Structure 1
Amino acid sequence: MNRKAEPPVGRAVLAFGGLVLGSAVLLLWCFRALELYIALTQLLRDLP
């Protein structure tokens, strides 16, 4: 392994993978929160 490689070998791929997975999880979390908000507003609207 070449220690003087720019960027260090393997770390750029891991960083990119972390960014992609983190973004995907954040988007899924936001969609689930929006889904919950819509369900709760519909439930509260139907109450007498």
Structure 2
Amino acid sequence: MIGDKIIQITPGGDEEMYQAGDVIVDTESSVDLESLISKFAFGGVK
């Protein structure tokens, strides 16, 4: 998966589901796995 871009949508605890045309406003940024591995491998992690 390195280099690939994905979107993961996980259902939460709310009983009301999104409908067609709804907008998702509460999101989280992804972790850049390549950067994280590079920092660890080359001593950038503190």
Same fold (TM over 0.5): no
Q: Whose helix proportion is higher, 1 or 2?
A: 1
- Higher-Rg structure is 1
TM-score scaled to structure 1, two decimals? 0.28
